[in-house]
Structure 1
Amino acid sequence: MDGVHHMSEDSELISETIEKLPSSVSREGKGKRLWKKVKYQLVEYNSLPAYLRDNEFILGHYRPEWPLKQVLLSVFSIHNETLNVWTHLIGFFLFLSLTIYTAMKVPKVVDLHSLQLPEVLKADLHKLQECLPSLPNMPDLHKLSGELKSTLPSIDLLPSFSRWHVMDLLYNCLPERFSHSNQTDVCVLRSMKEDVANLIAPLMLRPITRWPFFAFLGGAMFCLLASSTCHLLSCHSERLTYILLRLDYAGIAALISTSFYPPVYYSFMCNPFFCNLYLGFITLLGVATILVSLLPVFQNPEFRTIRASLFLGMGLSGVAPILHKLILFWHQPEALYTTGYEVLMGVFYGIGALIYATRIPERWMPGKFDIAGHSHQLFHVLVVAGAYTHYQAGLVYLKWRDLEGCRGN
């Protein structure tokens, strides 16, 4: 009986074990999923490896050495680098759109039928071909409004003609139709002739070269994309952090250097010595900054102020060509407009560098700005604002030189 009793107990034990087996397996699966979830949880500053400790005032929400897949997917999750990634990623797509728009944009042309001019003056415009025999390839002005609505004519005009020379020819060609007894009519019609000459002349010559402007746009996109990539992926490993930080510093130097290309080139395009001098100097300074940033010691947190000062010094090196431009073109309103934009750009960059170096506002309330509002995010926003301000200045330069050429230099 005792044997039967023991066999019964053993059967019950086996049954209980079998019944518990699925539950145990389920708990094991849940345990693995829970461990995986815990493994990729955000951690505090004190739990980070030494190479990821950069800002002791941001206390939490770090991603320590995650696998590359989880790091890439974290672009859509909330952590202390989320806004650092997106502020510059959105800026990259903004400048990509501006680059495409600028490349596709065609200079506006004159629609003769839409001009609010007297019919007799419109008729005079159609006689310009007979008046300008020295420009044999000039397009038929009767077809001007239809052919030039979307593109400039693909004609190869004589390269010896400068823009202001063509404008003078046009002005002299348009007939003088006014009454000598009415001084007001004289002023009005002379002004109309000047306006027409200014409108027609740009259509007869190729626009000024755009490469300095696109160099700036390329530098801005490189900087913004490199920064976003660095903030997203640098937590993966120490080696990747080292590489991406150098890429980030190179992007900053590229943005600062190429920002000088449009103002220097378009201000001194008719003075090759100063143009090459300033462009060469800022390019060499940018290359030197990139080389210095390759030194391992450059990454250490205690060199934060030195990094900010070096990039700020690059920006301040642009004061000389700007002052030189103002001296040369003090009588040109475009010089004042572009300088205003450049000063505003410098203010944005300068405040951004100051905030970056001083770690404001998180140093005042550590841990309160971990997710949003800390210094690096504010720095990113100010960089995008400064770059966009410089884009607006570039448009003024292009319009100025397209219409004026080297006249007045």
Structure 2
Amino acid sequence: MRGETEEMDETQFLELSKKMNKFPLLRYEELPDYMKDNEYILNYYRAEWSLKHAFISLFLCHNETLNVWTHFIGFLAFLLLTIANVTHFYLVADFLQVSKWAFSSNHPLNNTRQMISSYMDTTPPPIEVTRWPLFVYLGGSMFCFVSSSLCHLFSCHSHHLNCRLTQLDYTGIAVMIISSFFPSIYYIFQCNPLWQFVYLGIITVLGILAIGVLLSPTRMSGKYRFIRTLIFVLMGLFGVIPTIHATILNWNAPQRNAALGFESAMGFFYLVGAMFYVSRVPEKWKPGWFDLVGQSHQIFHVFVVMGALAHYVSVLILYEYRSRVSCE
């Protein structure tokens, strides 16, 4: 009886919203076909909203609110990290305080702990190492997060804009994947310029091809989705090759396990997030219960941000190692 009352109240709320507002919140079955993506999210949809009202909805409650904000907060976090690195304010750049929880005082990787803790010192590292690969990753991550936020915020405007923003969203993912390779490969293989050139060249070519496919005018057919998924899988699998090579090359480096640990954490976060994204759990279990909070796409966004931050810490370890250990 209580469930029927709650459902009735929700229906009355939506009907009242239609009567009072020019841009009401809709139910799933009232959406145009191009917006019907997740049948387990039943209510609180925006459709055919003006750009002005879509922007204002950034501060309103609907089923895309948290999807917008989870990645917009990620964008702000990486913007702060970029500013911290530009200004050499290492205390902020090390805001994760990884040295306090990643390694105990008697841990065999205590040397790595001391290495990471050196970021607490505002003095620059003794060996000057270029930081443009780090900024490539920071920039790629910010582009991904802001593209995702824009897509979730303005896709309710029209079919045409929905398609274009979806392409932008997936292009942002590709750019983030590509940019994440640059600092790792550059710092690990800095003393091996041939492999540095080979790996960065391959990922750049793969990235250009991926973005070309993602920005093509092809409609969002099943074949297109398959090709898009295959591209992301191939880009991810390519990372296994330089990782194995780097592990062998730096087998005796004390920072090896620490960097691999955070890279493994990144992979774990991305994998778990992808599982939520594909399975559409938990809303699949209880349709309508997670329309506003707790839906799979929101969880996916959170895990993506966590994975990106884990990779950032790994890059910090590699940067610090390279700044203190010369090729000689």
State the TM-score, normalizing by the size of structure 2: 0.80
Q: 1:236 matched to which residue of 2?
A: 157
Cα offset, 1:38, TM superposition: 3.6
Q: Return the letter of the residue paired with 2:319.
A: L
Query: What do the CA deviations read for 1:232-280 (whole angstroms, capped 9, x no partner)?
Result: 0011011111211111111000101111111111111111111111111
Alignment pair present for 1:363 and 2:261: no
Q: 5 Å matches for 1:10-409?
A: 37-105=20-88, 203=126, 205=127, 207-297=128-218, 299-300=220-221, 307-407=228-328
CA RMSD after TM alignment: 2.3
Name the aligned partner's letter for residue 254 of structure 1.
Answer: V
Residues 263, 394 of structure 1: 8 Å contact kept: yes
SS of 1:299's partner is coil
Partners of 2:17 and 2:24 within 8 A in 1? no
| Distance in 1 separating the partners of 2:308 and 2:17 | 45
Give, as a single letter, the amino acid of the residue that structure 2 aligns with 1:46.
Answer: E
Q: Distance in 2 between matches of 1:82 and 1:248?
A: 16
The answer to whether the Cα contact below 8 Å between 2:68 and 2:152 also exists between their aligned partners in 1 is yes
Mean Cα deviation higher: 256-265 or 51-60: 51-60
CA contact (8 A) 1:308 1:353 kept: no
Q: How many residues align?
A: 284
- C-alpha change, 1:367 and 1:312, in structure 2 (3 Å) is farther
Structure 1 gaps of 5+ residues are 1-32, 109-148, 153-201
The 1:47/1:104 distance shift into structure 2, 3 A limit, reads same
User: In 2, Cα distance between the equivalents of 1:368 and 1:301?
Assistant: 29
Cα offset, 1:303, TM superposition: 6.2
- Check 1:150–1:43 CA distance in 2 against 1; reply closer, same or farther (3 A cut): closer
CA spacing shift, 1:305–1:400, aligned 2, 3 Å: same
In structure 2, relative to structure 1, the CA distance for the partners of 1:106 and 1:44 (3 Å cut) is closer
User: Does the aligned pair in 1 maintain the 2:168–2:215 contact within 8 Å?
Assistant: no
Give the letter for the 1:97 counterpart.
L
Query: In structure 1, the residue corresponding to 2:284 is in which secondary structure?
Result: coil
1-side partners of 2:226 and 2:273: how far apart?
Answer: 13
Hey, what's the Cα distance between the residues in 2 that align with 1:305 and 1:81? 25
Per-residue CA deviation, residues 117-171 of structure 1 (Å, 9 max, x unaligned), is xxxxxxxxxxxxxxxxxxxxxxxxxxxxxxxx9776xxxxxxxxxxxxxxxxxxx
Change (3 A) 1:223 1:34: closer
Hey, what's the Cα distance between the residues in 1 that align with 2:193 and 2:156?
47
Shift of residue 35, structure 1, vs aligned partner: 7.1
In 2: Cα distance, 1:100 partner to 1:49 partner: 42
Distance 2:205 2:144 in 1: 18
Cα distance in 1 for partners of 2:131, 2:142 equals 17
Query: Partner of 2:79: helix, strand, or coil?
Result: helix
What amino acid sits opposite 1:332 in the alignment?
A
Q: 1:307 to 1:369 in 2, by over 3 A?
A: farther
Consecutive unaligned residues in structure 2, runs of 5 or more: 1-15, 92-120
After TM superposition, give the deviation of residue 296 of structure 1 in Å. Answer: 4.9
How far did 1:370 drift? 1.1
The TM-score normalised by the length of structure 1 is 0.65
SS across alignment from 2:63: coil
Runs of 4+ in 1 over 6 A off after TM superposition: 33-36, 149-152
Distance 2:214 2:69 in 1: 24
Kindly name which structure, 1 or 2, has the bigger radius of gyration based on alpha carbons: 1
Cα 1:259/1:298, change in 2 over 3 Å: farther
Compared CA separation, residues 332 and 62, structure 1 to 2 (3 A): same
Q: How far apart are 1:304 and its partner, in Å?
A: 5.5
The corresponding residue for 1:115 is: none
Question: Counterpart of 1:187?
Answer: none
Name the aligned partner's letter for residue 215 of structure 1. V
Of 40-49 and 303-312, the range deviating more from structure 2: 303-312
Q: 2 CA distance for matches of 1:77 and 1:304? A: 31
